[in-house]
Amino acid sequence: MFSCVEDLGHQVEWCGHPYEALELVSKKSYDIVVTDLKMPDMDGLSLLRRIKTINDDTEILVITGYGSVENALDCINAGAVDYLVKPFSVEQIQVALVKTIRHIELKTLAKEREHFLEMSYEDSLTGVYNRRFFDEALRLEIIKSTRQETPFCLFMIDVDNFKSFNDSFGHQMGDEALVKLGKAFRQVCRGYDIVTRYGGEEFAIIFPGAPKEMAQNLCERLMSEVRNMAQELPKGPDSKALSISIGVSCFPYDAKTPHKLIERADVALYHAKHSGRNNYQICGMF
């Protein structure tokens, strides 16, 4: 059987005992393990489960001379990729291995796609979600909230006098400030709140299930966290610590479309900026 696997261009290592196989698997990563179901001291099903505990990515092909539907289901449920009953031909084992290799390739491709998808939704500097993710998340949150008849708040957040901060301390310090802000926002937010970098020094946060009555408390918590964070940064040329202004709109009270919700939150942010900065305004309350 080993030569037929090598004929496919793969390297094969053989061991004569299940405990030897476990030792090998614990020291080295293998793509595929082929095991008999009946072996001395340990059956193939137990070996399968223990290998999966060591490395779940290792695919296991089980062969046996005592085939039954029950045995096959037990192996598949334990994580086996395929199950072959003796006697089988060289071609059958080769086909099973080719299918397993293709299965591994597809899993790897799926993981890579998932990784790249995550990267495409993450702001590379701050680690929070990016504008692309925000646009999609806001649209979906409106659909969900409409269906469930629940509200949510949208916060548009701008860093006050950020250009002056950059000019005084350089872009590297400005980038550090944005990273710290992202961490500060996530510190306040729940695991399912959506923190995004909207662009430049502007952030946006979606608070699912939050009614407008919660907006003031959320604003104050965010601003308090930012004040604490700002102590780690140098003060600007006017001796003022880095600060933020927040504008808030709430679905469905203030608007029912993504564009209008952003527009209303931006109007509230404008009022916060022109009321002296370092404060917040809630739509409909100014």
Q: What is the pLDDT along the chain (286 residues), one digit of tens a residue?
A: 556 666 667 788 888 888 888 888 888 888 898 888 888 888 888 888 999 899 888 898 888 877 777 877 888 888 888 888 888 787 888 888 888 888 888 888 777 666 656 668 889 899 999 999 999 999 999 999 998 899 999 999 999 989 989 888 999 999 999 999 999 999 999 999 999 999 999 999 999 999 999 999 999 999 999 999 999 888 866 667 889 999 999 999 999 999 999 999 999 999 999 999 999 999 987 6
Query: Structure tokens of 239?
Result: 């001796």
Task: Give yes or no: residues 109 and 235 share one domain.
Answer: no
Residue at 212 is within a domain: yes
pLDDT of residue 157: 98
Give me the CATH number covering residue 56.
3.40.50.2300
Torsion of CA 180, 183, 184, 188, to 10 degrees: 180
Range of the domain at 47: 2-120
Task: Give yes or no: residues 39 and 137 share one domain.
Answer: no
Residue at 126 is within a domain: no
Task: Give yes or no: residues 184 and 216 share one domain.
Answer: yes
* Burial grade of 270 (CB within 10 A; 0-12, 13-18, 19 or more): middle
Task: Give yes or no: residues 48 and 153 share one domain.
Answer: no
Task: Give yes or no: residues 6 and 106 share one domain.
Answer: yes
Closest by alpha carbon to 65, among 45, 81, 49, 88? 88
Residue at 125 is within a domain: no
Task: Give yes or no: residues 195 and 109 share one domain.
Answer: no
Distance, in Å, from the CA atom of 234 to the CA atom of 151, rounded to the nearest integer, reads: 39
Task: Give yes or no: residues 166 and 39 share one domain.
Answer: no
pLDDT of residue 99: 86
pLDDT of residue 21: 87
- The one-letter amino acid code at 60 reads I
pLDDT of residue 87: 81
Distance, in Å, from the CA atom of 206 to the CA atom of 215, rounded to the nearest integer, reads: 11
Distance, in Å, from the CA atom of 117 to the CA atom of 133, rounded to the nearest integer, reads: 10
Task: Give yes or no: residues 135 and 272 share one domain.
Answer: yes
Task: Give yes or no: residues 115 and 257 share one domain.
Answer: no
Identify the residue whose tokens are 């039954």: 68
Q: Is the pTM of this model over 0.75?
A: no
Task: Give yes or no: residues 160 and 278 share one domain.
Answer: yes
Task: Give yes or no: residues 115 and 83 share one domain.
Answer: yes
Q: How many domains does the chain have?
A: 2
Distance, in Å, from the CA atom of 40 to the CA atom of 172, rounded to the nearest integer, reads: 64
Task: Give yes or no: residues 136 and 104 share one domain.
Answer: no
- The one-letter amino acid code at 122 reads E
- How far lies 56's CA from each of 23, 80, 129, 158, 214, in Å? 16, 10, 30, 45, 44
Sheet of strand 152-159, all strands in order from the earlier edge strand to the far edge: 194-199, 202-208, 152-159, 244-251, 280-282
End of a domain among 87, 120, 153? 120
